[in-house]
Amino acid sequence: MKKQLIFASVLSALATSTAFAADEKALTMDGEFGFIFTSGNTETTSGSAGLSAKQELEEWSNEYKFTALYKKDTVENVVDGETIEEEQTSAQKFFASAQGNYKLENPNHRLFGFASYEDDRFSSYKYQSTIAAGWNQKVWEDETSSFDYSVGPGYSYAKDLNDESVSGLIIRGAVNYKWNISETARFTQTFSTEIGDENTKSRAESALSAQIAGGLSMKLSLKFDHNTDVAVGVEKLDTETAVTLVYSFF
């Protein structure tokens, strides 16, 4: 009989606040963390974690993100006529980014600087890193929704599976959309692309969050990670669907 246990827990620290307050705060931070364990015919252990923060200052608007994904499967292999169960890691990914937006005379018009680093064990690259700078604009923001975009030149550097460097100039574009469906429900959509001669890397996330109590929410998300230049036998598109708990630290 197959048994499945899904356990989700939450990172917690520092102060208070509700998940969907409309008032702008100097600093907000959300953490999410989920685990899935299965046993029986299929044995799997997987975990995901994330941390995001936004900082609003008089002259700066800053954003920080960190995500991690790990998955381990138990598979059966036949060796010398005997069936042997072995544990294999099937996913291991870490991503971190930071963006600083310097506000001009019109605070909705900004100059941005961006940096990111990704280590994905099962992609065509041992790691990928990016720096970029350019124009950022908050098109609108009210109690119901907000939308902003960034666009500018940059530089990417990566190491492929053969330890060869893959680098070059890029154009980076990104958009962020948020819709407060109600006082307790929120939809967010993010998309970014880094266009270069060697590779074009794109990331997207669609997420629906529902507040459970206080700063605790449940989040359903669908993520896409796409590279145009990959090794033979490696998929260009990675997708991730997750249900996690999110806690608003402050």
Q: How high is the pLDDT of residue 34?
A: 86
Alpha carbon 220 to chain centroid, angstroms:
13
Q: How far apart are the first and last CA of the chain?
A: 43
Tokens in use for 166? 């893959």
- Among 136, 57, 46, residue whose Cα is nearest residue 92: 46
Mean pLDDT on 199-214 = 95
Which of 35 and 235 is assigned the larger pLDDT? 235
40 dihedral zone (left: phi>0; alpha: psi -120 to 50; beta) = left
Which residues are within 8 A (CB) of 165 and not within 5 positions of it... i.e. 6 or more apart? 157, 158, 159
* 109-167 pLDDT, tens digit each: 999 999 999 998 878 888 999 999 999 999 999 999 999 999 999 999 999 888 888 89
Distances (CA, A) of 229 to 33, 132, 174, 221: 31, 20, 20, 26
Region 172-192 average pLDDT: 97
Tell me what percent of the residues of the chain surpass a pLDDT of 90. 59
Per cent of the chain over pLDDT 70 is 84
Pick 3-248's CATH classification: 3.40.50.2300, 1.10.3470.10, 2.40.160.40, 3.40.190.10: 2.40.160.40
What is each CA distance from 48 to 95, 134, 227, in whole angstroms?
Answer: 12, 32, 22
What is the pLDDT at residue 43?
A: 66
pTM above 0.85, yes or no: no
Residue 245 confidence (pLDDT) above 80: yes
Helices and strands: H and E segment counts in the chain = 0, 13
pLDDT at 120: 87
Average pLDDT score over residue span 63-89: 80
pLDDT averaged over every residue in the chain: 85
Q: Which of 32-41, 157-166, 174-183 has the highest mean pLDDT?
A: 174-183
User: pLDDT at residue 2 above 70?
Assistant: no
